[in-house]
């Protein structure tokens, strides 16, 4: 359980969370923001696995993609709310 929580927190505070949020704030389309966040999650996992599929854990990849998608969507929502105010 502690390993799972550490993986989630590490992804939120790392590239998928921060860069996903930033890329999500660049667009108003929520689908584009989610796709950009997912790409950041995949890219982050591939970079830290040294681009070798044998070093990638499926749970880690899924969490990185999920965090990236959520961060992108939150960034898009921030952009939309800022424009509307």
pLDDT band at residue 31 using 50, 70 and 90 as cut-offs: very high
CA geometry: angle at 53 spanning 67 and 49, to 5°? 60
Q: Mean pLDDT for the chain?
A: 92
Q: The tokens of 9 are what?
A: 């927190």
Amino acid 52: pLDDT = 93
- Mean pLDDT across 16-37: 94
CA 21/CA 11 separation, integer angstroms: 12
Asked if pLDDT for residue 45 goes beyond 70, the answer is yes
CA 45/CA 56 separation, integer angstroms: 7
Asked if pLDDT for residue 3 goes beyond 90, the answer is no
Domain boundary assignment for the chain:
2-84
CA 47/CA 75 separation, integer angstroms: 23
CA 59/CA 63 separation, integer angstroms: 6
pTM of the predicted model, to two decimals? 0.89
Amino acid 70: pLDDT = 96
């Amino acid at each position: 359980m502690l390993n799972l929580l550490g993986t989630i927190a590490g992804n939120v505070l790392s590239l998928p969370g921060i860069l996903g949020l930033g890329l999500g704030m660049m667009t108003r389309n929520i689908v584009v923001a989610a796709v950009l966040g997912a790409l950041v999650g995949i890219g982050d996992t591939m970079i830290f696995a040294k681009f070798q599929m044998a070093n990638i854990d499926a749970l880690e990849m899924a969490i990185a993609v999920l965090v990236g998608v959520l961060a992108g969507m939150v960034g898009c929502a921030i952009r939309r709310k800022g424009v509307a105010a």
